[in-house]
Every structure is written in C-alpha cells, then in structure tokens.
Structure 1
Amino acid sequence: MVQRSMNRNQLHDQNLKLVLQQVFNNHPTSRIEISHQLHLNKSTVSSLYNTLMAKGYLRELGYGNASTSGGRKPTLVALNQDYGYTLTFDLGYRHLHALATTLNGKVWKYDRIETRGQSIHEMVDRINHYIAMVQNEDASTNGLLGICFSIHGIIDDNKIKTSPFIDMDGVDLVQLFTMTYDVPVVLENEANLSAIYERDFNGARDLNSAVTISIHRGIGAGVILHRELFRGEHGDAGEIGQTVTSLEIDGQGQATPVRAEDISSEDAIIRQVEQQKGLKNLDRDDIVRLYRQHDTDLALILQRFTIAISSLLYNTMRTLDPDAFFINSPLIEEVPELLEQIRAGYRRLAKQDFPISLTTNARLATVLGGCSLITHQVLGLEGYALQFERIPENL
C-alpha cells in the first residue's frame, strides 16, 4: 500500500514538472494543447494546471482561437514572469558581469562593473551592493529566487577546486550568499556555462552534442554530450588549456611541458607581443589596434595562434566527436578573420569541413548560461530541457 502511494506521488510530481516544462517551452499555450502534447487526459492536466496556478508559476493571457470544429475558446497561459527573478554573476579578472533575469529567462538588467585589481572581499561587497540595488527596483511577487556564480576555474560538487585568476582567500560563496539571502546558490565553470548558453539559447539548440571552446585569459571547453553537460568525475572535464602540446628541453636535458594556453590563450598572445616589442601592460584593444595597423610581428603570432586552435579543435573532435564547435572569444569577435583561418587550419588537418561557429553575444554567454542553470534549479526542472528565447545580438 505504501509502495503504491509513493509511485502515485512520484508520477504526480513528474507530470507536474512536465506540464511546467510545456508551458515554459511553448508559451503561450493552453490546457488542451498540453493535454495533446503530453498524452494526458484533460482532467489530469486541469488538476496539475490548477496546482501550478495556485503556486503562482502561471499567468492567464486571455482566450485563443477556437478549433476548426468549434467549441469553447481555450484559455492561453504562459509562465508568470512577475513571479520573481534570478541573478548571475561572472567573476571575471577584469570585470564583474551581473545579469538579472525574470523567471521565464527574459533579461531584466545587465551591468558590467570594473573590478580590475580588486580582492574577492571587495568583489563580494560590490555584489551585495548590486543585489541591494536590484531589490530596491524589484516589483515581483517573490523577489530574488536564486543566484549563480560563473567561475573561471574548476568546480566540483558546487565547490571551487581551483581559481587561478582570483584568490578566493577562504571565501565560500555558496555558504555566504545562501545565509545572506536564503536562496539556492549555484557555482559553475564559465566555459561550461557558455556551452549551456549554446544549448538552451543559441546555436546548439537543435544539436545532440557540441563543444564550446572558451578563449580568454586561459582556454577551457564546455562539453554537451547527448544534451547533457559533461563535467567528468571530478569537474575537470574540458580543461583543454592544460593539454600538453610539446616539450621544451633546456641545456641540462630537462623537459618542461608546453600547454595549449601557454601559447594560444588571449593572455599568451598579449605576452608574446609584449616580449616581441618590448612593451608592457597591453590589452585586447591594443592587439586589435595592431592588427588593423597590419603589424607584421602580430601577424606571425596570430598565425601560430590560429594553427594551435585548429589543432586543439581537431584533437577534441577525434576524442569527443561532437556535432559542432562554438568558439567564445572576444578577440576573435573583434577580428573575425581569425575564425576563417581556424576553419581553414582545421580543414587541412581533417581533410573536410566541420561546423565551427563563433558564439554570438559572447559577453553575455556565461551569464545567460548561468540564468539557465539557476532557472532549472528554481523551477525544480533539473534534467528537463528548457528552451529560452534567443537573445538579440545588439542587446
């Protein structure tokens, strides 16, 4: 008797989530359409619908058109975007990217905050100040629902294993922000979030598997296999920047490994240009300026860069065999000719073409991926496919 009751409860919970998923992915929709899509009888859908309405997740929009056979006009329904909002923060090494989104994934606020040289404690203060500002502007029913942090490092079991660019100095983001705001707090690697963005918002929506290569201060990969994010057993999957590409032998015969991000990350490019020209404190804008001036030293460095990235893509293809690659790189976004060179380099290695695209809205990719991750958790829909509306490129 107890076993049957448990099964009934589990089935009810599953059907409730399926109805919520249908509303999220097909707004506006109606009870009759949900019934058809899920192959559930109308009375079951109505009961589940009423439960979600009582929780405040749904809002009715009015009547749709009657079917061709006549009958009552269906009541259209969508997710209630006034239910509450989520926040995602990308802890970059130069900027803090902050994104507020309503429950249906629509962008409410986006800000980029200068944090160059600031400690994690100063960044936490900036985040708390930002949350206070958003709370003052909020008019939703339930307010803040959850927070996601994009980390440029390795995450395992919602904990930071490594953070090479920001000294966390003992700060436990999950504990700190959970205690302060009493909402779910999720940590995820920024390359993984870029991959989630492609899957749920952008170019990989119709693909079964895809790999997003994130080229910033380091190099990382977000891997989507069979529509699921692949993290590996300990969160280290996708750390392709640590791939050993060659060995350097010194005068004593000692071998030093050369890793991919030592020669082909954005920082590596900047470092090589500084060494070649005897300059200091260059940034991406300086590299773009030199490129447009047809600087010969930079041209050679970028040629080695595109060959290295082509090789990295080829090796990843041979290992994972995805449907497509996406490259998240602000530098390549500024210099799109580099993408064509990478495609050509891959073509020479593989003897065939392969889908290699540039991530659009690269500055928002990680925070939008974070929006998807925390929205799944807030709605209790982990493992359920949610399709978010595409974001305009000029946002």
Structure 2
Amino acid sequence: MVRRSMNRNQLHDQNLKFVLQQIFNNHPTSRIEISHQLNLNKSTVSSLYNTLMAEGYLTELGLGEASTAGGRKPTLVEINNSYGYTLTFDLGYRHLHALATWLDGSVWKYDRIDTKGQSIHEMVDRINQYITDLQREDTSSNGLLGICFSIHGIVFNNQVKTSPFIDMDGVNLEQVFSTAYQVPVVLENEANLSAIYERDFNGARQLNSTVTVSIHRGIGAGIILHRDLFRGEHGDAGEIGQTIADIQMDAADSPHPVHAEDIGSEDAIIQRIEDLKGVDNLDRAAIVKLYRERDPETMMTLANFAAAIGGMLYNLMRSLDPDAFFLNSPLVEELPELLTQIRAIFANLAQVEMSIELTKNARLATVLGGCSLITHRVLGLDHFELNFERPDAE
C-alpha cells in the first residue's frame, strides 16, 4: 500500500473532523481536554475550535472546574442542538415510524403513523406532509439537515433493491427527497440500522463484532465486523431469513427448500398457529395471550421457534464468530421465557458461552440507528466513531 502524505489543507480538514468528533463524543468538553486527547498543541485546537464555532456547530456552556494544578478555568463546550435536526422514517408494512433528532442525536419528536394498505405514493405524500408540519414547529438555525429511510428489504448503492412488503413502484426515494429538500438522503436496511443502534447508542461500544437478528415479518441480520457495518458486495449480507433450514422432497422427487423465515418469522408463527387451531386474523397480541394461557399448539409452535432461532445463532456463530448477539424481536420481548429457551438451545449446540441479549428500546432501535447514520453523513464523519450514548439518557 502506498502511503501518501497529506497537504496542509487535507491535514487541516482531518484535524477539524477529529476535533468535531471529540466534542460530539464528550459532552461537555473543553479545548484543553481536546488538546490532551488528540495530542495537538493548544493553538491548533483553538483555531479549529473557532472554525467550528463560527460555522455554528458548537455552543459554550460556561466555565468548568480548574485542574488540580490550578490555572484558568476551562470553557466547556458541546454540540449546538439548535443548529438543526435530522429525520429518520421506518417504512413498515403497517406503520410509518418517524423520528426527528437534534444534531447530537437527542430525540425531538417521535410518531407512529398508520399506513396499512397505503401505496408507496401515499406514504411519500404522508412523509412530505409530516416534514411540512415539522418545519412549522422548527426554531433551529438551519432546519432539516438530512433524511434516513429504514427499508424492510435489500438496499444497494442507496437504492431499494428488493422490498417484499411494500411495492416501491419505481419510486426513487433518494432522488425524490434530495430534490425536494436539498439535503443528504440515506437508505439502509432495517436490520443493519438495528445493528448500528447497538454499536452507537446502546452500550455495545466495547464489543468489536456483533450480530443483531431482527425478527418481524421476516428475519434479517445486521452484522458489525471490527466496528464497521458489513453489507456484502451487493447489499445481501445478513439476509438470513432466506437461508435454507430444510429441504423437503415431494412425490415427484423435486426438492422444496424451507427457508429460515418460513419457520422463525412472526408471520410464520402466526400462520402455523392459525392452521393448527383452524382460525384466522391472529396477531402478536393474540399469540402472547395464547402462550400465557398455556395453549398446547401455541407452546409447541413457539418451542420450535426458539429451537430454530437457537440453531440459527449457532450457525451465525460458526460463520462469523462475533463477540455477542442481540435479538430485536417484539415477540421475544413480550415473552422473555423464549429468550431463556433460545439461550439453552444455543448453549447445548455451541458448548461455549456467548452473550445473547434482547435489544433495549427495540421500538426505537431502527430509527435511532438511522439517526446515527444520517448524523455521520451530515457532519462529514462517515468513517469516524460517534458515541450517541449519554450518561443522562433514559
């Protein structure tokens, strides 16, 4: 690898990003602390600091405590929340989840909007109306800074490659919204965003590699390897719901593959229990109720589900060797005894200890992951680690 030296402007831009990263990750901090952390001289840090302050990214909080050696009290600084906000929309099958966050990742507004049965064109209209309403409330200096879309499907080169639950009908979300609002627009798979959330918001920063398994209508995995999101060469990495769990032969000796999500997704569970009980129109709440009533068909189906997920985690462990697993599953969240069963199945197969935890704050995990992704883009810090976890976070 040929290492090229940076010219003066490149070095300045890099150091500017390092200073911005330090301020983002350490609320609050000071110029002297930044100088110590980056091993840059005070005059260089002051110049970079003044540039960021002039551009409106920072706000000063007053004087902090002097060091034990004495001297002047440092001026404390943090990211300026009133600079502007970002938006993340999770395009779910039944609901549109909308999250507005300030520049430091703190939540301004969250809404869940019923969109069941609506076309992508109707959803786009609803998003535009939501943005218009939000702009009326906004008092920040720069307003909307960027938009992220969470997609329940495969995303490649910032375009929706497949969308099994919503017909995109040729709609190019990046083009539509970047043209309308003149801001960066980023698209990402929802399981990948859940994995980003674990890395940046939820205390997984000490973990080098993790896999977040998202279990909803389908099954997907967000893969963090060596602190970076792994998407694969064509955006298909993590599509574990399409892996083959079994192959059944019909009377003509033709193979019929059984995919993992044919067994382990919420839709598959509901369909199986409906078939066993001869009913229809069940939902997650009904499944939870039946399980708590110790309904035999439901308990058997969910035992098979736990076994399938435990086996899937074992296969992922063998292929990816992560530090830990996270499960983003509203069903398991409501029935935590399923997590115990999944852990037991995995331990029996793997014969090793590995952390398997539920995603905290699963309701917002995907959109908060989107907040991280679009905030990185807005700040020009795509390849820098940003810590959104705050000591006073709820």
Same fold at TM > 0.5: yes
Name the CA shift for 1:286/1:391 in 2 (closer, same or farther; >3 Å).
farther
The residue aligned with 2:7 is 7
Q: Does 1:367 align with 2:367?
A: yes
Tell me the SS of whatever aligns to 2:101. Answer: strand
State the percentage of identical aligned residues.
Answer: 73
The residue aligned with 1:260 is 260
What is the distance in 1 between the residues matched to 2:67 and 2:391?
Answer: 32
The unaligned stretches of length 5 or more in structure 2 are: none
The residue aligned with 1:19 is 19
The unaligned stretches of length 5 or more in structure 1 are: none
C-alpha displacement at 1:5, in angstroms? 10
C-alpha displacement at 1:252, in angstroms? 0.7
Q: Structure 1: which amino acid aligns with 2:301? A: I
The residue aligned with 2:154 is 154
Tell me the SS of whatever aligns to 1:82. Answer: helix
What is the distance in 2 between the residues matched to 1:34 and 1:5?
Answer: 24
What is the distance in 1 between the residues matched to 2:145 and 2:279?
Answer: 47
**Range moving further from structure 2, 377-386 or 117-126:** 117-126
Q: Structure 2: which amino acid aligns with 1:38? A: L
Name the CA shift for 1:241/1:5 in 2 (closer, same or farther; >3 Å).
closer
Name the CA shift for 1:133/1:392 in 2 (closer, same or farther; >3 Å).
farther
What is the distance in 1 between the residues matched to 2:390 and 2:348?
Answer: 33
The residue aligned with 2:237 is 237
What is the distance in 2 between the residues matched to 1:127 and 1:274?
Answer: 35
What is the distance in 2 between the residues matched to 1:384 and 1:191?
Answer: 21
Q: Structure 1: which amino acid aligns with 2:368? A: L
What is the distance in 1 between the residues matched to 2:22 and 2:76?
Answer: 13
C-alpha displacement at 1:293, in angstroms? 1.2
1:234-383 matches, cutoff 5 A: 234-383=234-383
The residue aligned with 1:180 is 180
**Range moving further from structure 2, 283-292 or 368-377:** 283-292
C-alpha displacement at 1:22, in angstroms? 0.2
Name the CA shift for 1:25/1:392 in 2 (closer, same or farther; >3 Å).
closer
C-alpha displacement at 1:389, in angstroms? 2.3
Deviations 1:313-366 (A, max 9, x none): 000000000000000000001111100000000011012321000001111000
What is the distance in 1 between the residues matched to 2:280 and 2:290?
Answer: 14
1:127-166 matches, cutoff 5 A: 127-166=127-166
Q: Structure 2: which amino acid aligns with 1:179? A: T
Name the CA shift for 1:390/1:308 in 2 (closer, same or farther; >3 Å).
farther
Q: TM-score, normalization: structure 1?
A: 0.97
Name the CA shift for 1:351/1:126 in 2 (closer, same or farther; >3 Å).
same
1:206-221 matches, cutoff 5 A: 206-221=206-221
What is the distance in 1 between the residues matched to 2:297 and 2:5?
Answer: 72
C-alpha displacement at 1:390, in angstroms? 5.0
Runs of 4+ in 1 over 2 A off after TM superposition: 389-393
1:186-205 matches, cutoff 5 A: 186-205=186-205
1:10-159 matches, cutoff 5 A: 10-159=10-159
Deviations 1:282-327 (A, max 9, x none): 1111111111111100011001100000000000000000000000
Tell me the SS of whatever aligns to 2:235. Answer: coil
Query: CA RMSD of the aligned region, Å?
Result: 1.4
**Range moving further from structure 2, 306-315 or 274-283:** 274-283
Q: For the Cα contact (< 8 Å) 2:57–2:83, is it kept in 1? A: yes
**Range moving further from structure 2, 140-149 or 284-293:** 284-293
What is the distance in 2 between the residues matched to 1:305 and 1:59?
Answer: 51
Deviations 1:134-155 (A, max 9, x none): 1111000000000000000001
C-alpha displacement at 1:251, in angstroms? 0.8
Deviations 1:49-68 (A, max 9, x none): 00000100000000011112
